[in-house]
Structure formats: C-alpha cells, structure tokens
Structure 1
Amino acid sequence: MTFPPLREELRGLEPYGAPQISPELAPVQLNVNENPYGPGPEAAADVAHAVGEAVATLNRYPDREFVALRAALADYLNADGGRGITPDQVWAANGSNEVMLQLLQAFGGPGRVALSFAPTYSMYPEYARDTVTEWVVGRREADFTLDLDHARRLVAERRPSVVLLPSPNNPTGTALAPEAITALCEAAGDGVVVVDEAYGEFRRAGTPSALELLPDHRNLVVTRTMSKAFALAGARLGYLAADPAICDAVRVVRLPYHLSSVTQATALAALRHAPALLARVEELRAERDRTVTWLRGLGLDVAESDANFVLFGTFADRHAVWQGLLDRGVLIRETGPSGWLRVSVGTPDEMGQFRTALTEVLESDPNKELS
C-alpha cells in the first residue's frame, strides 16, 4: 500500500471544477452559469440582518431539521408549479451537489446502478464513483432530446436504483417533456427518478416543471437550487421535493447539523425577497433568446435552451475558439460534446463583449467553424 492509502480508482484523478481565471485576465466571466446580477440592496440588508442575528447564537447547533426553512421552500415551490407540497416533502443541503450526493448515498452503493443519458451533467458520474455505485450512461438524440424507446429499454435492462435527469439539461439547456418523465418513472419501478431542475426558473413560457408530476409518482424527486435564479451561488443552498419516505431516507445519511445557522438564515431571508431576487429572470431569458438568434445568424448550430446558458458549435478546434475568446477577455466553458462550447448568459454589456470577441475570433480564422 502506498501513502496516502487512496482508493485505487481515485489515483491520478483531478478534482472537479471549471477553470478559474482572474477577472484581471478575463473581465467577462461567462463560464459557470452564475446569475450576473447580485441581490438588490433591500434583500442584501435583510440577509445581513438575519445573519447577524444567527451569529449571536453560533455557540448553539443549528436546527438540524431546519423546519422553518423547509416550510418556506414548500411555499415557494407551490408558487412555481408545485401541487400541495408540504414541509415533510422538502429536504435541503449545501448546494444541489450535496443533495445529489445524499441521494446516491441513500439509494446507490455497491451492487446498484445510477443511470443518465449523455450529454449530461459532468458531476453525476462522480457522485456515483464516490458512493461506489455503478455508472451507466445512455444516449440522447442529435437534438439532445431523449429517445424514449432507447431510454425505457436501458432502464428495463439495467434496473437502476437512481435515474438522473437534468431538466433543463446541463450542458445543453434541453428541457424534458412531462410524458418523458412519466414514462421513466413508470419504467424505473421502485427506483428513484431525479429530475434536476437547477435551472428550472429559466424555463420558457409553456415549459412545465416536473413539480406538477410529484403527486402522480411516489418515486419522483425534483431538485432545485438557490444558486442560479436567486443569485445566491455563494450561499450554497440546494433542495429537493419528493415523497416524505424519500426525505426520511435521505435524513439517514445526512451528517449531523449539516446545514449551518448562517445558511438557514440567509436562505430564509432570500425567500422573503423572492419576487425581487427573481425579477431579473425574465431579462436573462430574453438575453438568452437574443443570443440563440444571433449565434444561429452566424450559421452556427445552437441547442434549444430553457436555461441561463447556450450551447453552440460546432468547431473543428473548439479549444482554439475558447482560447481566442479568453485572449480577448471573455471566459466561457469548453464542455459538452466534441466541437461545442457553452456560454452563460450575462448582462447586455457582457453579452455584447462576447459577440464582439466571437466575431473577431471567427473572422481571424474562418476555418475554425465546421461546415
């Protein structure tokens, strides 16, 4: 055995993370799907006051069941597609990443399978790896929608205990149709089907939330985050809605007092200002749609997006395009299928700088674009 005694399958691996480049080198940061607008002054002041009150009690452990926060989250979800969600159907953790890991800790493990359809969120196989769960990945159609016949066959063949379905999908922005979610909930039997709605608030008009289907499927889990639409990426608060039995199962694997008093106070204060914090969502949707139209006007392939980012391509050397943008102070993400790039939606000024930079990159070497 060599020191340190790391598990063999982890040797040589690098920690997950998007490239972090200083704002001095890349003033326009459009790579990690953050909300470009911070909390307004009233919300910030209320959060600061709530955190100040929490600080006075830091000698005590937080409410490990965070009852008040679960009730506030249930109210919010019922206003955004939920149908009578109650606090005992809600669970929260430090970002939706921890929520997902807890789900895999509870329902994955040796001899069990977690399944998704590529391209999909790049952290999912890491959750499976970390919980010693077998990872199985199916395929999506050319337009990144699900081939339901293929999906049902794969679920029937592998019998996963966890199916992970981001909607809108990261990195493509593709939303799932309700009938696809229903079909996979039925195909999964007693396995849980997790619909990851980290970008759910950015969905286009007429695109329903999977929250509407919760009363119909006891094995459905819908996850959300306050990092994106709520502009609270630094607060680290993710949550889920599901059958109370699923929430109780996750409680078994959670660490003691995992959600700090400061985090709970921050989230509760933010929820009190939900309309103000979400007021920019419509602007970001409109900027996303303008970006899609502009990119298609260049003759590029662009995925349909219900998120706050756009996947576009395709390029013979996408890294060269990424580097060309970075050289001009614009940082986007080199992710997704070969030849594609992803840009987060920023402010109108930031998107203008992105358009200028991409135009210059393409004009400097037209061969960068695939035919």
Structure 2
Amino acid sequence: MQQSWKDVSFADLPLREDLKLRHAYGAPQLDVPVCLNVNENPYSPSSALIERIAAAVSDAAHRANRYPDRDFLELRAQLADYLTHDTGLTVDASCVWAANGSNEVIQQILQAFGGPGRSALAFTPAYPMYDEYCRTTFTRLHTLPRNKDFALDLNHAIDGIRAHQPGVVLLTSPNNPTGTALPIEDIHAILDVAPGIVIVDEAYAEFRRSGVRSAVTLLPDHPRLIVIRTLSKAFSFAGARVGYCACRPAIVEALKLVRLPYHLSAFTQAAASAALFERDEMLSQVETIKAERDSTVSWLRSLGLVVADSDANFVMFGKFADRHRVWSGLLHRGVLIREVSPPEYLRVSIGTPAEMGEFRNALLAVMADA
C-alpha cells in the first residue's frame, strides 16, 4: 500500500542531530484586540504614502522578468543619506549593506566572520536569535550576564573578551528585551580590546532618549565595527523585511561572499526606496511613541513594579512570582504581551494611547485578582 505523504512524521526525517530537540523561534501570533508583543510600530502608513509605495512596486512589476539590481545601489544611497541625517556623520553608500531584515544581516556577518572553530560573545539577557544565528553558522556562543539593573559591566565585558578572544562581539543598544542603551564610551572601550568584529545592533535606535549617541559616529576610527539598523521598527515597515548595516566598504565586500544571489527583490527595493524618500512621514509618530513609553515606565513604577530604563519602543517590567499567570490574565482580557528572559519579567510593546489604556486596565484587573 502506498504511504500517504501525511503519514511521514517529524521523527522520520533524517534531520541533523543538533536540530532534533530544537524549536523554531517565534512569538505567538494570536488574533486579539490589542497586540503588544513584537515591538511593532502601531501606526500604519498614511493612505497617500501607501499609494506612493504601491506605485513604486507597480513600476517595478513592469521589469519583473529581469533580475533586480544585485547590489541595490539606489537603496544603499538612500540608506546612507538617512544615516547621515540621523547621526550627523557623512555616510557613503559604499559603507552600507542591506538584507531581508536585520536578522539576515547578522546571519551574513556570522557566516563571514564566525563559523567552525570561531566564537561569538553576547551579554544576557539578549535577543534570543543570537543563539540561533550562532547555531546555524556553527559559531560557538559565549555569554556573560548583565548587572542587576541590566546595564553592561564594562570591566567584566573586557575581561570576557580577553579570555575568550571572540571573532564577533554582539552588543545591542538599545538592548532587547531590556531596552537598555549602552554608553558610547563603553562601546569605544570594547572596540579597543576586541580582536575581531564588533556588532552594535541598533534596531531600536530611533527611539533612544536625547543625548544617547549612535555607534555610527564611531565608524571613522574603528574599521571592524558594524552598526545594524532596520526599517521594521520606527519606520512602521516590519512587513517589508528590510534591515541594513553601516561599516567599512571592505566589510561590505566580505558580506557579498556569503549573500544569496539577488537576495533583495525588485519589489522590496522599490518599496523601501519609496518609504525612505518619505522618511519624515514614516518617522512622524516616533516622538509620540517615546512619550507614551516614558509615561508607561512611570505608571508601572507607581504600581511598585521593577521597570528597566528603556530607550526602545517597549518596556520590560516585573518581578512576578508567576508571570505566566499574569500573561494569561492579560490575554484573557484581549491584550497580548511577551514572556521574555529573565524569567520573572514581562515585556510590553508601546502601542497607541488607546491600546496602552487597554493594557493598563487589564493589568490592574489581573493584579487585583491576585
């Protein structure tokens, strides 16, 4: 009797041994009234901007029979112009690279500078995908804990770099899941001792508080620094999947050795270019989100909760003896947030004022039930 394709189970597959006990990364995608769990910008593009993006994509469709620009020169020029405007440092297009979200950028960096026999160093709690990138590139990952206030212990970090001699150091500012920003002086000190590549993941950089400098400003003096950004967060463009980095042109050439052919489609390039052309509109709600974040931090602290300082569009708060009960209670009331590391904490993304009002009411009800 012929076997049905439905009869083949996961256990029947000749999977790599190191993958058999793994689970795919991902946050719950649930149909709830208030979704505050994946750090999205809650404000959608305007109707006029949607029309401009659609027109750019439609124009690209006329050439869909041809491969896209493999090196996406126009998009890189626009990204460089934006970084110049944002940081005050003149950035050339040759110093910019982009991919399918900042996730792919980090994976390409580890493919090029990590790998078998090499290691990376991260500071926990950290973005859990760092572990996945290292696993899939066969890079050994070392981790060091942050302080109780989730700041980086600079002396501990420098000692760890000297001990492990990692090929890649993973820094995040603002950090996910804590929202903590790194002082520029700490990044500078780490660059002075790191033997290999230093990544500063600035996915949430546009939400940083006044006075927090971008690591992009350190690029002229540090040839092995790579600063990563994304259009997914502040730009309200998560669905387009565009991340990018700024670095020396030599590093860009190294990343080309591991990129997939034509890895950014013509449609992605067209949509991203249209969004960047209208960057003032795309970023118009950032200050509103920052104000709502600061208000949320103050409100949570007024309840006696421990709240990490945040320079991002999310807030991590605790401590809960049974955080899953709190998470479930919020979900029961139509509000989805995120269970993150460390185990006593929860993380809420900043939504619209109405959404944050729903979150506040739900959390007060859950805490009252306790």
Shorter-chain TM-score tier: over 0.9
1:4 deviates by 2.4
Instruction: State the TM-score, normalized to the length of structure 2.
Output: 0.96
Does residue 51 of the first structure (1) align with residue 60 of the second (2)? no
Q: 2:47 aligns with which of 18, 23, 41?
A: 41
Matching residue of 2:147: 141
1:165 aligned counterpart, secondary structure: strand
Letter in 1 for 2:116: P
Does residue 118 of the first structure (1) align with residue 118 of the second (2)? no
1:5 deviates by 2.3
Judged with a 3 Å threshold, the aligned counterparts in structure 2 of structure 1 residues 238 and 37 are, in CA distance, closer, same or farther, namely same
In structure 1, C-alpha distance between the alignment counterparts of 2:347 and 2:249, rounded to whole Å: 37
Q: 1:16 aligns with which of 6, 22, 25?
A: 25
Letter in 1 for 2:320: F
1:82 deviates by 4.8
Q: 1:218 aligns with which of 223, 244, 247?
A: 223
Instruction: State the TM-score, normalized to the length of structure 1.
Output: 0.96
In structure 2, C-alpha distance between the alignment counterparts of 1:188 and 1:219, rounded to whole Å: 9
Does residue 192 of the first structure (1) align with residue 197 of the second (2)? yes
1:42 deviates by 2.2
Which consecutive unaligned segments of at least 5 residues does structure 2 have? Answer: 1-10
Matching residue of 2:315: 310
Q: In 2, are the aligned partners of 1:30 and 1:345 still within 8 Å (CA)?
A: yes
1:35 aligned counterpart, secondary structure: coil
Letter in 1 for 2:178: T
In structure 2, C-alpha distance between the alignment counterparts of 1:45 and 1:301, rounded to whole Å: 44
1:84 deviates by 1.7
Matching residue of 1:236: 241
Does residue 63 of the first structure (1) align with residue 92 of the second (2)? no
In structure 2, C-alpha distance between the alignment counterparts of 1:244 and 1:184, rounded to whole Å: 22
Matching residue of 1:88: 94
Q: 2:38 aligns with which of 32, 35, 49?
A: 32
In structure 2, C-alpha distance between the alignment counterparts of 1:165 and 1:3, rounded to whole Å: 39
Q: In 2, are the aligned partners of 1:108 and 1:131 still within 8 Å (CA)?
A: yes
Matching residue of 2:290: 285
After superposition, the C-alpha distances for 1:171-190 in whole angstroms (9 at most, x for unaligned) are 0000000111111111113x
In structure 1, C-alpha distance between the alignment counterparts of 2:50 and 2:131, rounded to whole Å: 36
Which consecutive unaligned segments of at least 5 residues does structure 1 have? Answer: 366-371
Letter in 2 for 1:220: L
Q: In 2, are the aligned partners of 1:83 and 1:215 still within 8 Å (CA)?
A: no
Matching residue of 2:110: 104
In structure 2, C-alpha distance between the alignment counterparts of 1:301 and 1:256, rounded to whole Å: 47
Give the aligned CA root-mean-square deviation in angstroms. Answer: 0.8
1:12 deviates by 2.2
1:83 deviates by 1.5
In structure 2, C-alpha distance between the alignment counterparts of 1:271 and 1:55, rounded to whole Å: 19
In structure 2, C-alpha distance between the alignment counterparts of 1:168 and 1:323, rounded to whole Å: 27
Matching residue of 1:156: 162
1:79 aligned counterpart, secondary structure: helix
Does residue 171 of the first structure (1) align with residue 180 of the second (2)? no
1:43 deviates by 1.6
Q: 1:329 aligns with which of 312, 334, 344?
A: 334
1:356 aligned counterpart, secondary structure: helix
Moved more, 81-90 or 323-332: 81-90
In the alignment of these two chains, the number of paired residues is 360
1:76 deviates by 0.2
In structure 1, C-alpha distance between the alignment counterparts of 2:88 and 2:231, rounded to whole Å: 17
Structure 1 residue ranges (4+ consecutive) displaced by more than 3 angstroms after TM superposition: none
Moved more, 4-13 or 238-247: 4-13
In structure 1, C-alpha distance between the alignment counterparts of 2:319 and 2:307, rounded to whole Å: 9
Q: In 2, are the aligned partners of 1:222 and 1:242 still within 8 Å (CA)?
A: yes
In structure 1, C-alpha distance between the alignment counterparts of 2:235 and 2:355, rounded to whole Å: 20
In structure 1, C-alpha distance between the alignment counterparts of 2:29 and 2:240, rounded to whole Å: 19
In structure 1, C-alpha distance between the alignment counterparts of 2:88 and 2:264, rounded to whole Å: 24
In structure 1, C-alpha distance between the alignment counterparts of 2:162 and 2:138, rounded to whole Å: 21
Q: In 2, are the aligned partners of 1:172 and 1:336 still within 8 Å (CA)?
A: no
After superposition, the C-alpha distances for 1:151-207 in whole angstroms (9 at most, x for unaligned) are 001001111111111110000000000111111111113x11100000000001111
